[in-house]
C-alpha cells in the first residue's frame, strides 16, 4: 500500500514527516513524503534553521507525483500541521485528485492547531479551514481534546461530552474520529449517566477514543512520566493509526495496535533519557510490543 504524507520535516528529531515516514515504512507501507517545511529541528528549541515552502511549491510536488501515476496508486493521504490556509487549499485539491484517481483512497487529517495549556499555535484562518473545509472532506480525524473543542465548538469536561462531540463530527462527513491524549484527571467521570464504561479517573492513565458509525472504543494506557512530553508524539499516533487501519481495516484492532506501538516508542524514549522520540530504537517493537492493550467497546 502507498501513502502520500504532506507534513513538515526536520533534520534533527522526529516530528511531522520525520516521524510518520519511518513508522509507516516499518509497518510495511510505501510512503511518498511531501514536505511543507524543512527545518534543522522543531521550533520548541530556542533556534532553528530552514525554510517554509510555499503553497505553490507543495502543489508542484503533487503535480510531479501525478505525472508519475502515483495518485492512482495512492491508498491514503496523511496530513498534519498546516501553517497557512493557502496550503490547506492545496491539500484539499490533492485529496480530491487522489480520490478521483482512486475512489478507495482515504484521507487522514490530523487537525494540528494547539493543546490545552498552550492554546492555539497556528495562524489566523487555520481553525476556520479545519472546521469548514477539512472536517467535511476528511475520512479520519485525529484531534486531541483541545482540537476537538475547536472543531465541535463545545467545551468538553467529561468523557460523555467528548464522546458526544466526536459523534457530532461524524454527521459532518468523517467516517471515524480518533480523540487522542485524553488525560483522565482532566475529565470529570460522567460516564455512568451516559452509559459509558468508566476509564478510572487515575492521574497516571491516558486514553484514546475511536468513534465511528459502527461503534465507539476506548484504550486506556499508563501515562509514562516523561516531562516535558516529546514533540512529535501526536504525529506518530496519527501515522500509526493510519497504518494499522490500512493493514486491518478494523477500527478497534487499529486503535489497540496504535496504542501499543506508541507506548513502546514512549517507553523506549523514557528509558533512553533522550528528549527526542526514539522511534528508530523502538522499531522492532512496533509490530511486537511488549505491552498489549485492548480496545474496550463503549456503549
Give tens-digit pLDDT for 252-273: 999 999 999 999 999 999 999 9
> How many Å apart are CA 177 and CA 208, to the nearest integer?
10
Give tens-digit pLDDT for 137-187: 999 999 999 999 999 999 998 889 999 999 999 999 999 999 998 864 444
> How many Å apart are CA 200 and CA 211, to the nearest integer?
19
The residue with greater pLDDT, 82 or 241, is 241
Total domains present in the chain: 1
Give the ranges where 27-71 is alpha helix by DSSP (H): 55-67
Give tens-digit pLDDT for 39-49: 999 999 999 99
Q: How confident is the model at residue 203 (pLDDT cuts 50, 70, 90)?
A: low
CATH code for position 179: 3.40.1190.20
Return the axis-axis angle of helices 159-170 and 145-152, rounded to nearest 10°: 50
Per-residue pLDDT at 202 exceeds 50: no
Domain that holds residue 245: 2-298
Amino acid at each position: 500500500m502507498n501513502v502520500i504524507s504532506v507534513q513538515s520535516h526536520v533534520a534533527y528529531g522526529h516530528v511531522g514527516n520525520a516521524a510518520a515516514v519511518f513508522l509507516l515504512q516499518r509497518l510495511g507501507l510505501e510512503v511518498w513524503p511531501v514536505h511543507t517545511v524543512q527545518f534543522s529541528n522543531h521550533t520548541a528549541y530556542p533556534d532553528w534553521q530552514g525554510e517554509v515552502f510555499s503553497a505553490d511549491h507543495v502543489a508542484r510536488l503533487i503535480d510531479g507525483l501525478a505525472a508519475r501515476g502515483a495518485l492512482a496508486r495512492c491508498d491514503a493521504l496523511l496530513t498534519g500541521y498546516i501553517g497557512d490556509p493557502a496550503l490547506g487549499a492545496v491539500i484539499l485539491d490533492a485529496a480530491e485528485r487522489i480520490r478521483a484517481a482512486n475512489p478507495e483512497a482515504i484521507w487522514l487529517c490530523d487537525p494540528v492547531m494547539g493543546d490545552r495549556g498552550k492554546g492555539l499555535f497556528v495562524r489566523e484562518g487555520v481553525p476556520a479551514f479545519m472546521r469548514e473545509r477539512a472536517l467535511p472532506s476528511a475520512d479520519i480525524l485525529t484531534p486531541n481534546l483541545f482540537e476537538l473543542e475547536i472543531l465541535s465548538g463545545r467545551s468538553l469536561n467529561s468523557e460523555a461530552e467528548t464522546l458526544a462531540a466526536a459523534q457530532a463530527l461524524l454527521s459532518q462527513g468523517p467516517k471515524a474520529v480518533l480523540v487522542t491524549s485524553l488525560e483522565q484527571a482532566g475529565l470529570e467521570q460522567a460516564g455512568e449517566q451516559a452509559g459509558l464504561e468508566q476509564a478510572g479517573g487515575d492521574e497516571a492513565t491516558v486514553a484514546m477514543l475511536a468513534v465511528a458509525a459502527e461503534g465507539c472504543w476506548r484504550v486506556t494506557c499508563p501515562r509514562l512520566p516523561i516531562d516535558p512530553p516529546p514533540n512529535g508524539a501526536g504525529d506518530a499516533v496519527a501515522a500509526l493509526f493510519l497504518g494499522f487501519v490500512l493493514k486491518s481495516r478494523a477500527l478497534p484492532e487499529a486503535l489497540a495496535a496504535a496504542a501499543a506501538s506508541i507506548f513502546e516508542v514512549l517507553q523506549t524514549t523514557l528509558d533512553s533519557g533522550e528528549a527526542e522520540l526514539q522511534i528508530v530504537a523502538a522499531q522492532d517493537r512496533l509490530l511486537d510490543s511488549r505491552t498489549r492493550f485492548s480496545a474496550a467497546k463503549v456503549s
